[in-house]
Amino acid sequence: MSNRNAAIEDRAPAPAGEGALERARLPGFGRGLSARVLALTVLFVMLSEVLIYAPSIAGFRLDWLNEKLASGHLATLALEATPDYMIDPQLELTLLQHAGARLVALHTPDGKNLMLRGATAQLVIDDTLDLDDHNPVDLIGGAFDTLSHTTNRVLRVLGHSPRAPDTVVEVVLDEKPLHDAMVAYSWRVLGVGIVISLVTATLIFLSLQWLIIRPMRRITNEMVRFRNDPEAPLEPNVPRRGDEIGVAEREFGLMRREVRRALGQKERLAALGTAVNKINHDLRGVLSTARLVADRMTGSGDPDVKKATPALVKALDRAVDLCSDTLNFTREGPPRPELSSFALGELCQEVKDSLSRHLVDGKAIETAVALEFSVIADRGQMFRVIRNLGENALQMGAQHVTISAARRDGKVEIEVADDGPGLPPKAVENLFRPFRGSARAGGTGLGLAIARELARVQGGDLRLAESSGRGARFAIELPDRKTA
Q: What is the pLDDT along the chain (484 residues), one digit of tens a residue?
A: 334 333 333 333 444 333 344 455 555 555 666 677 777 777 887 787 778 888 899 999 999 998 988 888 888 888 777 777 777 778 888 888 888 888 888 888 887 888 888 765 677 888 888 888 778 888 888 889 889 888 899 888 988 888 788 888 888 898 899 999 999 999 998 888 788 877 877 887 788 777 777 777 777 777 777 777 776 666 666 666 667 777 777 777 777 778 877 777 777 766 666 666 667 666 766 777 776 777 767 666 677 766 667 667 666 666 666 666 566 555 555 667 889 999 998 999 888 888 887 788 778 888 888 888 999 999 888 988 998 888 888 888 888 999 999 998 889 999 999 988 888 777 777 777 765 545 555 455 677 888 888 899 888 999 988 888 888 899 999 998 864 4
Find, among 385, 401, 391, the residue nearest to 344 by Cα: 385
- Cα 2 from chain centroid (whole Å): 41
Q: Report the C-alpha gap between 438 and 448 in whole angstroms.
A: 8
Cβ–Cβ < 8 Å for 479, 337: no
DSSP notation for 408-439: ETTEEEEEEEE-S----HHHHHTTT-TTT--S
Q: In this predicted model, what pLDDT tens digit does every residue of 292-346 receive, in sequence order? A: 777 767 666 677 766 667 667 666 666 666 666 566 555 555 667 889 999 998 9
Cβ–Cβ < 8 Å for 404, 368: yes
What are all long-range contacts of 351-356, with beta carbons under 8 Å and residues at least 24 apart? 351/383, 351/386, 351/387, 351/390, 351/403, 352/390, 354/387, 355/387, 355/390, 355/391, 355/394
Buried b (16+ CB within 10 A) or exposed e, 52-90: ebeebbbebbbebbbebbbbbbbbbebbeeeeeeeeeee
Q: In this predicted model, what pLDDT tens digit does every residue of 11-69 receive, in sequence order? A: 334 443 333 444 555 555 556 666 777 777 778 877 877 788 888 999 999 999 989 88
Find, among 295, 303, 300, the residue nearest to 320 by Cα: 295
Using CA atoms, how far residue 84 sits from 78, 81, 87, 88, 421, in Å, is 11, 9, 9, 12, 127
Q: Report the C-alpha gap between 80 and 86 in whole angstroms.
A: 9
Find, among 114, 112, 111, 123, the residue nearest to 95 by Cα: 114
pLDDT score for 477? 92
Q: Report the C-alpha gap between 116 and 37 in whole angstroms.
A: 59
Q: What is the pTM of this model?
A: 0.43
What are all long-range contacts of 356-364, with beta carbons under 8 Å and residues at least 24 apart? 358/391, 358/394, 358/395, 359/394, 362/399, 363/394, 363/398, 363/399, 363/400, 363/401, 364/399, 364/400, 364/401
